[in-house]
Amino acid sequence: MQRRTFLACVAGSVTARARNAATGADLLLGVDTYSLRRHCWKVMQMLDWAAAQKLDIIQATFGDFESFEPAYLKRVKEHADRVGVRLEPGFGCICDRSKGWNPRQGTPVQYLEFVIRVTRELGSPSCKVFMGNAADRAAGPVDALIEATIRALRSVRAQALDAGVKLAVENHGDLTSRELKTPIEEAGLDFTACCFDSGNAAMLGEDPVAALEVLGPYVVTSHIRDCAVYEHPRGAAVQWVALGDGSVDLPALVRGFAELCPKAPFQLEILTGFPLRVLPFLEADYWKAFPHMPASDFARFLALAKRGQPFTEGMLIARPGKLPPEFDAALRAQDLYDLERSLEYARKKLGVGIRWRL
């Protein structure tokens, strides 16, 4: 009887371990600081905020840094170590054929060499970069941009390997999940990886869960947000919302992380305040930008739209141009409110970032 009781306890512990792993209890919980871009906090302040929020990691955007001189980066790294928050940098466009390319960055190779140096000096094993943006997609086939990106990445392979840095290419509204596999695989899996963005996947007509199934084996970091996806007379509408306010199957997304990329941080990038986008897939011209979209992938997105609903709880939408101080202050408050309640949702509803013990 005692032996059966002991074995039952062991079996129960193993089951609990598997159940907790499937809900993401061992995933690192973090934030992409672009979520709070309107606050204009620098990286030291972001680290202090993250420590107060008991986060494991943040991805600091390019503009958070006051300098990229080695002495300053050393102080930043020391501060991150002191407050106990991992720090990962996020950089920009690496393709000089993209509409998002900044010529002041020199050449793509020079920019990537800079990216690798900064990432190494911060002590991070990876950093985010991206090929382009949605404007590239609207301009026509992206094949030439993909080839240019592969060439740029291959040119810095030796430097990345010597530094121990992985370049995580984001699906940035430019590439679908299946398209992004090409530069990652062809540049070299020994130093190239993926920054998975669930919200950008939805904006390209992909179910984020299905996109993660494609990209999961390559993912080393992430941007996670919920999306309200629903049917529209022209096709479907997509709006970025806080966790729990949308249509995405978030528990399935967490299970995908736990199974496919358990070492990748689950980093929230909550971008409320953006207007919804209509994906007019009922119109023939829409498909000119997606000549290779598999029917099975589109079917997953269509099912997501059919079960989704508009977000009706109310949201301030940022308008172009200079905003009155009161409106800008309200947007800042909304950003912080939506991010903090999304962190609470991730912990309490999804079980992410809660360390468990037998």
Q: What is the CATH number of the domain that holds 159?
A: 3.20.20.150
Is residue 268 pLDDT above 70, yes or no?
yes
Share of the chain above pLDDT 70, in %: 92
* Predicted structure pTM score: 0.92
Residue 188 lies in a domain: yes
Look at the chain and report how many structural domains it folds into.
1
Name the nearest CA neighbour of 206 among 342, 311, 305, 306: 305
Is 337 inside a domain boundary? yes
According to the model, what pLDDT value does residue 23 have? 59
In a domain, 122, yes or no: yes
Instruction: Look at residue 141 and tell me whether its pLDDT is greater than 90.
Output: no
Taking only the tens place, the pLDDT of each residue in 187-215 is 999 999 999 999 999 999 999 999 999 99
- Which residue segment(s) compose the domain that 237 sits in? 28-348
* Torsion angle of C-alpha atoms 52, 55, 59, 62, degrees rounded to 10: 0
Residue 5 domain flag = no
Position 138 scores a pLDDT of 87
Tens of pLDDT, residue by residue over 283-337, are 999 999 998 899 999 999 999 999 999 999 999 999 888 889 999 999 999 999 9
**Of 292 and 251, the one with more pLDDT:** 251
| pLDDT tens by residue, 238-250 | 999 999 999 999 9
- Tell me: the pLDDT tens digits for 151-162? 999 999 999 999
Specify if 300 maps to a domain: yes
Domain annotation covers residue 187: yes
Instruction: Judge whether 229 lies within some domain.
Output: yes
Residue 6 in any domain: the answer is no
In this predicted structure, what is the pLDDT of residue 310? 97
